[in-house]
Amino acid sequence: MISPARKIAYEVLRRVEAEGAYASDVLHAELGARVKADDAGLATELAMGVLRWRRLLDFLLERQLKKPVARLDLPVVLALRMGLYQLRFLERIPARAAVNESVELVKSARKASAAKLVNAVLRRAADEARVPAAQFVPPATPLAERLGILHSHPTWIVERWLKRFGEGQIIALLEANNRAPRLTCAVHDVTRRDEIFASLKNAGLRIAPGNILQSAFAVSGGSPTRTESFRTGAISIQDEASQTVPLLLNAQSGDRVLDLCAAPGGKTAALVRAAGAKGIVIAADRHAHRLRAMREQFKRLGLKDVRLVELDAASTLPFGTLFRRILVDAPCSGTGTLARHPEIRWRLNPKHLAEFHALQTSLLRSALQQLAPGGRLVYSTCSMEPEENERVVEEVLRSTSGFRRDTASEIARGLSGKLVPGRVLESLFDPDAYFRTTPSALETDGFFAAVISRA
């Protein structure tokens, strides 16, 4: 017998590798109401853990295999990774169960001929499961390579970050990327916060305060999506740094607002509430199916005054009017979300950064042309790479007159009264007034934002 949790985890990993799917999307589809909470928790732990630690797992497996993991069939690779992850990282699971169920997974995938291999490799791995992995890395291994193996990141990303952050900071960042991210929600009406928290606690959830915003909170002990507060639109699941980005616009009642690249709509919802019934909010995205998903999300939240538009924002925009507030939450590499979307680290390569840079500069140039005099634009990404962040902003502003970046004190007006007690504004901005967060410092995704005004 194969446990339901392992079956689900195996299918998630298979689709991630074979179809290019995102693990979080597949888990959301697989973990319906019929799946027991314990099975859902183990399936999530296995799928996300294997993705986060894939490089280290393969390194350790290849010691036993004496050949590259890439030469094995995918079902065999996945069974070996899942088995070794349990042996190395999940002490509560007996070694025998981890080995035997991995063997059964291979058989169920019609790869019975590999059952003996899987059994032998994992049994040998079990014997050394408590030996620190660092002992198996050759002493002469370069630092970036060593860190990449032991913390399971591509060497090229580690090399980049070492140059910018130094060894101490990068180890903290790599460790944060290999932890399950904080599950953070937003309270949409802070005057009801105590009432909503009481309801969530009655549903068996544990609540912790936000690290940045008074309207944010972390939840554990269950799924907030199964609560009345979520169903009625009182709360939404959203990373805390992501919640902060639309506040930087400081949208006011009656403002005309444009949200480009708006899906999945969390930031749009904040802008709709800020603009109020007298304002106009247009949310644009190039993918029709994502706009349909946004429409369903807005129904849950009770937001009706949103105009959804399908368009390619990198081209000349079709609007005959200017906007007082514009958000450009640009498509990016996502290197600030490697804890939440660990598969990204294995799909990216350096050439993608140049491709994103070209797209992002086009998006920002198009958006600036729609900004009204005296208006404000926020350019943001969930990337930590300069090519996608400050270099985009600097390149566009050098070639576009009439615009300037706001100072931190000007930006602070949008955050006035919204930060948690003790949160110093300077901790959210670098010396150049760019908004930055990192998983290691604030337990959030790694976000970047620049605030630009038109004279």
| pLDDT at residue 34 in the model | 87
Cβ partners under 8 Å of residue 289, min gap 6: none
End-to-end Cα, the chain, rounded Å: 68
When pLDDT is averaged across residues 135-148 and rounded to a whole number, the result is 97
**DSSP string covering 105-134, please?**
HHHHTT-GGGHHHHHHHHHHHHHTTTS-GG
When pLDDT is averaged across residues 159-187 and rounded to a whole number, the result is 96
**Local confidence band at 58 (pLDDT 50, 70, 90 cut-offs):** very high
Q: Is residue 33's pLDDT more than 80?
A: no
When pLDDT is averaged across residues 135-159 and rounded to a whole number, the result is 97
pLDDT digits (tens, 9 = 90+) for 201-219: 999 999 999 999 999 999 9
81 close to 58: Cβ distance less than 8 angstroms? yes
| pLDDT at residue 132 in the model | 96
Angstrom distances, CA of residue 313 to CA of 106, 144, 283:
46, 38, 11
| pLDDT at residue 333 in the model | 98
Instruction: Please return the burial class of 116, using the count of CB atoms within 10 Å of its CB with bins 0-12, 13-18 and 19+.
Output: exposed
Please name the residue that has the structure tokens 């079902």: 75
**Local confidence band at 41 (pLDDT 50, 70, 90 cut-offs):** very high
If we measure between CA atoms, which residue out of 403, 452, 443, 407 comes closest to residue 425? 407
**Local confidence band at 426 (pLDDT 50, 70, 90 cut-offs):** confident
| pLDDT at residue 425 in the model | 87
**Local confidence band at 193 (pLDDT 50, 70, 90 cut-offs):** very high
In a 3-state reduction of DSSP, which class is residue 245?
helix
20 close to 65: Cβ distance less than 8 angstroms? no
In a 3-state reduction of DSSP, which class is residue 357?
helix
309 close to 284: Cβ distance less than 8 angstroms? yes
When pLDDT is averaged across residues 288-310 and rounded to a whole number, the result is 93
Q: How many CB atoms lie within 10 A of CB 182?
A: 22
| pLDDT at residue 304 in the model | 85
Active site residue 332: no
pLDDT digits (tens, 9 = 90+) for 330-378: 999 999 999 999 999 999 999 999 999 999 999 999 999 999 999 999 9
325 close to 373: Cβ distance less than 8 angstroms? no
If we measure between CA atoms, which residue out of 380, 370, 371, 364 comes closest to residue 455? 371
Q: Is residue 305's pLDDT more than 90?
A: no
Average model confidence (pLDDT) across the chain: 95
Amino acid at 353: L
**Local confidence band at 66 (pLDDT 50, 70, 90 cut-offs):** confident
From the list 185, 261, 332, 382, the catalytic residue is: 382
The percent of residues in the chain predicted with pLDDT above 70, rounded, is: 100
The percent of residues in the chain predicted with pLDDT above 90, rounded, is: 93
Q: How many CB atoms lie within 10 A of CB 395?
A: 16
Dihedral class, residue 110 (left if φ above 0, else alpha if ψ from -120 to 50, else beta):
left
When pLDDT is averaged across residues 8-25 and rounded to a whole number, the result is 96
Please name the residue that has the structure tokens 């390579």: 145
Q: Is residue 413's pLDDT more than 90?
A: no
Measured distance CA(340)–CA(330) in Å, rounded: 18
Q: Find the radius of gyration of the CA atoms of the chain.
A: 23
